[in-house]
Chains A and B, each alone.
Chain A
Amino acid sequence: MPDFPQRPIAQLLGSNGPVHAVTYSASPSAYVLTGSADRSIRLYNPSSTSAPPTSNSITPPATPAIPKPIPQARLIQSYSAHGYDVLSLSVASSNSTFLSAGGDRAVFVWDVATAQTIRRLGGIPPHSHTGRINTVTFAGVDDSLALSGGIDCTVRIWDLRSQGHKPVMVLDGAKDAVTSIVAGRETGGEIIVGSVDGRVRGYDARMGRCVTDVIGASVTSLCLSRDGKTVLVGGLDSKMRLMDRRDGACLRKYEDEGWRNEELRVQSLLGGRERWVVAGDEMAGEGGEGRVWAWGLLTGKVVAKVSVPWGPAGEGRKRVIGKDGKEKEKKNVVSCIDWKDGGFGDQFCVGGTSGVATVFGE
């Protein structure tokens, strides 16, 4: 059984604010997209790295554990049309388009090559979201649907094939903000929606029924297994649960005393071909470093605890003066994470409040 990848192999710099979303491109997973609070989306190639400049070669004292500076990934493209933070990204399986959404209540469909938006779904008030969009994802045959869920408690399903400005359907069963949607090919016509009201709703179009599973704590993250039979549900009670899709039973809980997730949206996923449950952490390590935890999927034991370094000196570590006049200790909360599914080797990418996305590999 291979070890959990713990070596940072590249840093994705350039963001001028926290990184809210990271995602690998489709099947070869050669590229990484980051959505940032600076309202832009950046496309990196983590495999083609350049040595960091010599000025940055001085290791910051806060990260003495890192023997040598992490190479910087090459920034290929940056996409900027958003007016607000970019909170969610989804790449089409064809790798030609991707979706992004955030504070501006509309889902942007981007052409990767030209860096232009092809469509903007929503934006016309009666049919658009009335608040921030938390999550967006492709769905359907040939990625013909776009699903977006937001703070207005609705999931809107957009047809990407037609040019209509109305959503195909609005799922408004949620009683609170929708935080995550899973509608992969694995689900087979089921849309799984996680919401702050502590429920996971599975809308099964084939069966014409909506299955609501009560989790209790607010659901911030969903990750479906490949066989579509289990789903990993991250909640704000510092627990992650692997739920059985069939009967709603909880197969395993993943938690640790040192790991906390009570306030923020921290993404968790099943990584390494579903060997591990990987999640970021609200708590920061020493020096405000972010941490990534990994549990064994079957054992439920903590496998690894990876420290996510800050960026190069001067990058992402702005001094923040709090209201009491003292410098606030800034934490690098690792809030988003994506696992490289295609390609060789185990690799994952995390992003957080440091504004630097870090790629870890073997």
Chain B
Amino acid sequence: MSYKRSRANYEADLTAQQSPYVVFGTPLPPVDPDVRDDGSYVPLWKQEVRDERGRKRFHGAFTGGFSAGYFNTVGSKEGWTPSTFVSSRTNRHKDDANAAKMRAEDFMDEEDLADAEESRRIQTATAFAGLGSTQNDASRTANLMGLFRPDGDTMGAKLLKKMGWKEGQGIGPKVRRKARLELREDMADKTSSFLFAPENVPMIKFSRKTDHKGLGYAGHSRLAPIGLSSKSVTAENSDEDEDQDGSGGFGRPKFSLSVGRKKEKEKTRGGIGMGTLNDTGSDDEDPYEIGPRISYNRVIGGDNKKKKKATTTINPALKSKPTFIPRKTGLAKVALGVRKCHDGRLPLEGFIWGKEDDPLISTINCEGKYPPPKIPTDWESSRRSKPETAAEVFVSTADAAKASTLDPKARAALLGEKQLPGKSVFDFMSAASRERLAAVTGRTDLPPARGEVPAGFALSEAERLQELISRVPKLDKESAVAALARDTGSGAPYADNDVKRSRYRAYLEHQAGFRKEFPAKPPHLNNDEWLREFGEFFNCARIFKPMTGFMASRFTTSSGTKTNSGSNGAVNDQDLVSRPPLKPKDPAEEAAKLGMYGPMTRSVAEFYPTRLLCKRLGVKAPAFVQPEEGGASGNPKKSDDSSQFGGFGNAMAARQGHLGLDFGSVASSEATMPTEATSAQGQRDDVLKLAAPPVEVVDSTRNKALESARAADAVFKAIFGDSDDDDED
């Protein structure tokens, strides 16, 4: 026995558990802080308006105010500035790949978002319902092509509509007839007629007879749609199934006292015994309700014993009474009606077995019995597409041209053009140009360059020479004269190449106007080399361009090389290259290089040994010794050429001695060091001008400065004032 509480007990329990003090009325549900929207009373000051996402809706002092951003303004705390503002001066915003991008959704409120979401949902058109769907199986199983039935009009329908056709009308010219107004037949004017579209002629459909039903009988569509829940179907229509899968349709409609009778009634259309009475429009009325409760069997010979179905459940919640289906019969039914797969299982849900044609039908429809009409042999469709082969392999014009083996001449012949004179560009091209072209294109099969000149443009030899001469750089006369003047010296340009030098001179003479005819082209040079050489001459001679008066007064030459030699100065081509001025060489080095060891290579400086050194060396210390305390760093002062006590005269004498050396050696050393010689020459001139009278013969092997002048002793004494006797080790 199941225990069931009485109502009183139930209420008592409820009261005791939840609201023990409520004695009158319905108690409020328990106060649970977690349950927010339970309908419990919340005082007004505690109420908050929140949107569906749980965000607080209203801000500000008054809770019913604006739903605004920042203090009821449209701005933000930072003011009306987009928070993602980035200066694009240095940081181009569009270049930034992961920059924060504002989407349209950022500016939408919930409503807009919902709209957008709704519009975004993609739904498969019902006409294209997927393969797995079992919604329209009943219609789909008939023809697989139903799967691909397109939505919308066919092309023919579209065309027709364009021509004025409307759905429901027939096709053809309009028909004049009377209007059919069935509703107000009496009131209609019988005589008047109108133009109407013709009647729609129903389509004659030839469909294969694939079943055993009688001719013209389409059956009824009442058979349980697969979409229904199978449980209810099996439970409720267990009796009907048997006649349905047979030759059903001949029995009477089945009526039962089942609860789903109303629904069922709609499906029983088409059975025998159902007539216009069904079309009353009222679903509630059952035409057979009042009559004796007869149930018709739609199957001839079917047993009636299962018709008794006075099955009403006590529990109205149950739609139908659960019936026990013994396993045996269930399996048998499965074995009979439902085909199993080869592994003994039912097909997967959503799949059904395909239908095999009835052998009878298939023999009727077998091939050859009713062959399709034969197409006349000479018939040709006007719609036939062009052969695909041409379009398949697309060949561009360039490719086609490449494939062609014709050369321009052959093409010209094909086109019937007149042949051009048999010259190509290369025939007029010089060899150098062809080389350049070959280098650029990297092709080695270019035709040889002939360097021909068209007859109209051919130059005579004289003209060509004239043209070449016109390209020789022009040197102004002053420069040419100046350069010519320099050219006589020993260090002239191209001193090593007499032939070239003579050409250089000839060029200068021509430019200076001394020589009328242009110098002849040397045989071993071609035109380009000749021109290049003239350019070189030009650059060489341009150096000597005399300065104009104003500029000349402003500048002075740095060395005597160019100024002191108006006519006999030497210019060697090394001067053309600008190089840092040579350091004045040590004359002693030069003397040593010449092997003139002796006074020239010897110089004497003071040396201040420490006293200890002298002592250790066993020598008497000189009068001037280095103080002992700095012994570690004791070193002679920077050794100068001029002795500290030698005085100016000594230095001058030494200098003159050096000069004397140079003077004496100019003749011999000119070849090796011309610049030295000339500079020394220049200096010598100055010295000689300054001290003109004493033209003394300088002996290079003796150095008076050194040999005569240790004039020091007296000077030492005068300076240091003490005698050598005072010095002790």
Contacts and interface: CB of A to CB of B under 8 A. Distances in A.
A312 to B, nearest CB: 44
Interface string A99-130: 00000000000000000000000000001000
B541 to A, nearest CB: 39
A248 interface: yes
Contacts of B609: 169, 203, 205, 208
Nearest to B592: A216
Nearest to B610: A169
A206 interface: yes
Given A168-B631, A212-B605, A214-B591, A206 B598 contact: no
Interface string B601-627: 111111111101110111111111110
B598 A170 contact: no
A189 B605 CA distance: 16
A52 interface: no
B622 A207 contact: yes
Contact of B597 (A161, A191, A248): A248
Contacts of A157: 613
Nearest to A144: B616
A235 B607 CA distance: 25
A183 B618 CA distance: 12
Contact of B607 (A159, A205, A253): A205
A31 B7 CA distance: 138
A300 B639 CA distance: 34
A172 B635 CA distance: 7
A250 B592 CA distance: 10
A212 B604 contact: yes
Given A209-B605, A215-B592, A189 B635 contact: no
B602 A212 contact: yes
In which size bucket is the chain A interface?
35 or more
Interface string B578-594: 00000000101101110
B607 A249 contact: no
A121 to B, nearest CB: 13
Contacts of B606: 208-210
Contacts of A198: 589, 592
Contact of A170 (B589, B621, B633): B633
Contacts of A209: 604-607
A140 B599 contact: no
B617 A140 contact: yes
A159 B632 contact: no
Given A159-B616, A168-B610, A214-B588, A248 B605 contact: no
B368 interface: no
B674 interface: no
A189 B619 contact: yes
B291 interface: no
A205 B633 contact: no
B616 A170 contact: no
A249 B632 contact: no
Contact of A140 (B598, B610, B618, B632): B618
A216 B593 contact: yes
Contacts of B592: 198, 214-216
A278 B588 CA distance: 28
Interface in A143-176: 144-145, 157, 159, 161, 166-173
A170 B635 contact: yes
B664 to A, nearest CB: 17
B354 interface: no
A216 to B, nearest CB: 4
B647 interface: no
A168 B616 contact: yes
A216 B604 CA distance: 17
B632 A212 contact: no
Contacts of A210: 604-607, 636, 639
A145 B633 contact: no
A351 B599 CA distance: 37
Contact of B618 (A141, A159, A169, A241): A141
Contacts of A216: 589, 592-593
Given A173-B639, A209-B607, A247 B599 contact: yes
Contacts, number: 132
B634 interface: yes
A206 B608 contact: no
Contacts of A212: 602-605, 639
A93 to B, nearest CB: 14
Contact of B632 (A170, A208, A215): A170
Contacts of B604: 209-212
Nearest to A155: B635
A243 interface: yes
A38 to B, nearest CB: 34
Contacts of B610: 168-169
B281 interface: no
Contacts of B214: none
B152 interface: no
Contacts of A214: 586, 588-589, 591-592, 601-603
Given A170-B633, A212-B604, A188 B639 contact: no
B595 interface: yes
A206 B616 contact: no
B613 A169 contact: yes
B619 A206 contact: yes
Interface in A203-251: 203-216, 241, 243, 247-250
Contact of A248 (B598, B607, B621, B631): B598
A187 B492 CA distance: 53
B632 A250 contact: no
A233 B633 CA distance: 29
A169 B628 CA distance: 10
Nearest to B586: A214
Interface in A131-149: 139-141, 144-145
A198 B590 CA distance: 12
Contacts of A140: 616-618
Nearest to B643: A209
A139 B597 contact: no
B710 to A, nearest CB: 9
Nearest to A165: B632
B629 to A, nearest CB: 11
Contacts of A207: 607, 622
A212 B639 CA distance: 9
Contact of B634 (A161, A170, A211): A170
B616 A249 contact: no
Given A168-B610, A168-B612, A243 B597 contact: yes
Nearest to A173: B639
A145 B623 CA distance: 22
Contacts of A211: 602-604
Interface in A236-270: 241, 243, 247-250, 253
Interface centre among B598, B606, B618 (most CB of A within 10 A): B618
Interface in A296-311: none
A205 B614 contact: yes
Contacts of B605: 173, 209-210, 212
Nearest to A145: B616
A90 B490 CA distance: 56
Interface centre among A209, A213, A250 (most CB of B within 10 A): A209
B600 to A, nearest CB: 8
Contacts of A188: 619
Q: Top 4 closest A-B pairs, CB basis?
A: A208-B622, A189-B619, A216-B592, A248-B602
Interface of B: 586, 588-589, 591-593, 595, 597-599, 601-610, 612-614, 616-626, 631-636, 639
17 contacts: A141-B617, A145-B617, A166-B632, A168-B612, A169-B635, A173-B635, A189-B617, A203-B607, A205-B614, A208-B607, A208-B623, A208-B624, A210-B639, A214-B591, A214-B602, A216-B589, A249-B598
